[in-house]
Structures are given as C-alpha cells and as structure tokens.
C-alpha cells in the first residue's frame, strides 16, 4: 500500500502542476491568449466649428434600424465607442432641436473598425435656433440673467458647465421645472403671454442663481 502511494505521489504532483499552468495560462502572452478583435469608434460633433457637448451619437450595424449602442458627446465634443468588433459600422448623430446638419453633411456615416485602432468620423452642425439663448454656467449664473422679449419668442437655456442646473419657475406655472443636468443639455420654452417670469436654479438659488424673463 505504501509503495503504491509512493508511486502515484509524483503523478499527483505533475497533475497539480499541469493544472496550475493551465489555470494561469490566460496571463501568459505566449500561451494561447485570444487575439484582440475589437477597436474604438470616435465621433466628433461640432457646431459652427466648436465642440458640441451632450449630443447623442448612435452606433449601428450596417443597415440596421435599431442602434447597437449610443453615447453622448463629452465637453470636448467627442463620443467614444470602445470594444467595437472589427468590421463595418454606421455612426449616426441625433440632431437636437434648434440645430441642423451643415451643408453637405449626412447624419449617418460608415466607419471601418480595425482591431486595436481608432476609427474616426465627424459631424458638423449649424445652430438654426430662432430665439434667445440663456447660458447656465459654471459660475452658477444664468447669462444673461434678465431678458426682455416679444410674445411668441422661444427661449433656450443651455448648460455650458459640468454641474447640474435647473430652470425652475418662481411663483408661476408658465413652464414645469426643467433639469439641464449635463454640459450641452438644453430646455426650450415659447413665451406667448406678456408678463414677468422669474425663475431660479434649485441647487444654486442660495448662490443667487436666478433670472427674469420679461415678455412684452
Ligand atoms: Cu445651477
């Protein structure tokens, strides 16, 4: 019996060693690591030549009607799709209210993804908004904070910072409170009734982030 154990002990050691090598094999670059088959798609969106933040960009398999995934552009105007299988893909920009494609642009473009590389594409938009724009900025201000307009005018609030703001009516119900959470987010309201409309930002009203729209 002892001699039998003594004879199989080295075999057990070999088996254990083989198991360890097998288990660790994935970390060994020389030992059957899966080749990388994915790359990155990088889409840049600009409005009038400047980086456009908060614009939704979608990735489609060729000819597909529903998107594989969607990413909003960051403050640098870039939407990155990581780990995209190599091959042909289509990238489509969602044109926000108040914007249009620049002359000669198309909303959906083809890209070819190569493993370990970045395929780039870009979309140029133009601002065709016909109203007044109020920026909610990183100094915790609405700019301009007072605005006088004619009835029927649209006002667009745009978040030009990286902090969340709200556009909250103060003592009236001309609109329902709106959150512009991210850089590039907008809220648009049409003022049809003459009057004075005060509003504030909920998180920053304590820092004086208020505004007034006067409609004639
Ligand atoms: Cu705010």
Contact 155, 76 (CB under 8 A): no
Separation of 49 CA from ligand 1 center, angstroms?
27
Average pLDDT over residues 105-116: 96
- For residue 114, the domain's CATH number is 2.60.40.10
Model pLDDT, residue 34? 82
Chain-centre distance of CA 144, in angstroms? 26
Q: Confidence band (pLDDT; 50, 70, 90) for 97? A: confident
Separation of 193 CA from ligand 1 center, angstroms?
26
pLDDT of 25 above 50: no
Domain end (from 76, 102, 127):
127
Domain limits for position 116: 38-127
Average pLDDT over residues 7-33: 49
Give every CB contact of residue 82 below 8 A, 6+ residues apart in sequence.
38, 40
98 lies in some domain: yes
Residue 2's region, left for phi above 0, alpha for psi from -120 to 50, else beta, is alpha
55 lies in some domain: yes
Contact 145, 139 (CB under 8 A): no
Do 77 and 145 lie in one domain? The reply is: no
9 lies in some domain: no
Contact 15, 93 (CB under 8 A): no
| Residue 114 Cα distances to 84, 85, 198, angstroms | 9, 8, 53
51 lies in some domain: yes
Token pair of 177, please?
């409170």
Catalytic residues: 165, 201, 204, 209
Separation of 183 CA from ligand 1 center, angstroms?
12
Model pLDDT, residue 101? 97
Number of structural domains the chain divides into = 2
Q: How far apart are CA 77 and CA 123, in angstroms?
A: 10
59 lies in some domain: yes
Place of tokens 């649209």: 154
Contact 39, 111 (CB under 8 A): no
Q: Give the start-end residues of each E strand in the chain.
A: 38-47, 50-51, 56-60, 69-72, 78-85, 87-93, 99-101, 108-113, 118-127, 132-136, 142-143, 146-149, 153-159, 165-169, 178-180, 186-191, 195-200, 210-215
Helix, strand, or coil (residue 128): coil
Of 93, 138, 89, nearest to 112 by C-alpha is: 89
Separation of 201 CA from ligand 1 center, angstroms?
5
Domain end (from 75, 103, 127):
127
Q: How far apart are CA 12 and CA 17, in angstroms?
A: 9
Do 136 and 96 lie in one domain? The reply is: no
Average pLDDT over residues 134-144: 97
Q: How far apart are CA 42 and CA 118, in angstroms?
A: 7
Q: For strand 153-159 and strand 132-136, is the pairing parallel, antiparallel, or unpaired? A: parallel
Q: How far apart are CA 19 and CA 22, in angstroms?
A: 5
Do 136 and 97 lie in one domain? The reply is: no
Question: Between residues 18 and 194, which one has the greater pLDDT?
Answer: 194
Q: How far apart are CA 158 and CA 153, in angstroms?
A: 16
What pTM value is reported for the model?
0.71
Separation of 210 CA from ligand 1 center, angstroms?
9
Domain end (from 93, 127, 161):
127
168 lies in some domain: yes
Separation of 200 CA from ligand 1 center, angstroms?
8
Question: Between residues 165 and 4, which one has the greater pLDDT?
Answer: 165
Do 47 and 120 lie in one domain? The reply is: yes
Do 122 and 138 lie in one domain? The reply is: no
Q: How far apart are CA 216 and CA 202, in angstroms?
A: 27
Do 93 and 160 lie in one domain? The reply is: no
pLDDT of 173 above 80: yes
Model pLDDT, residue 91? 98
Separation of 173 CA from ligand 1 center, angstroms?
19
pLDDT of 160 above 70: yes
Separation of 92 CA from ligand 1 center, angstroms?
31
The pLDDT mean for the chain works out to: 88
């Amino acid at each position: 019996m002892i001699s039998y154990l003594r004879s199989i002990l080295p075999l057990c050691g070999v088996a254990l060693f083989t198991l360890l090598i097998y288990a660790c094999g994935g970390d060994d670059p020389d030992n059957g690591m899966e080749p990388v088959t994915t790359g990155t798609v990088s889409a840049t969106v600009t409005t009038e030549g400047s980086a456009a933040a908060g614009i939704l960009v979608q990735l489609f398999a060729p000819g597909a009607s529903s998107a594989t995934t969607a990413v909003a552009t960051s403050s640098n105007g870039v939407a990155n799709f990581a780990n995209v299988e190599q091959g042909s893909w289509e990238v489509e920009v969602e044109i926000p209210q108040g914007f249009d494609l620049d002359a000669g642009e198309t909303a959906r473009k083809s890209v070819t993804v190569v493993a370990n590389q970045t395929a780039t594409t870009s979309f140029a938009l133009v601002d065709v908004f016909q109203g007044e724009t109020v920026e909610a900025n990183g100094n915790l201000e609405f700019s301009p904070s007072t605005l006088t307009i004619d009835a029927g005018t649209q006002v667009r609030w745009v978040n030009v910072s990286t902090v969340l703001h709200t556009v909250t009516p103060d003592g009236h119900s001309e609109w329902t409170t709106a959150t512009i959470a991210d850089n590039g987010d907008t809220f648009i309201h049409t003022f049809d009734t003459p009057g004075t409309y005060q509003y504030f930002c909920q998180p920053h009203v304590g820092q004086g982030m208020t505004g007034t729209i006067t409609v004639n």
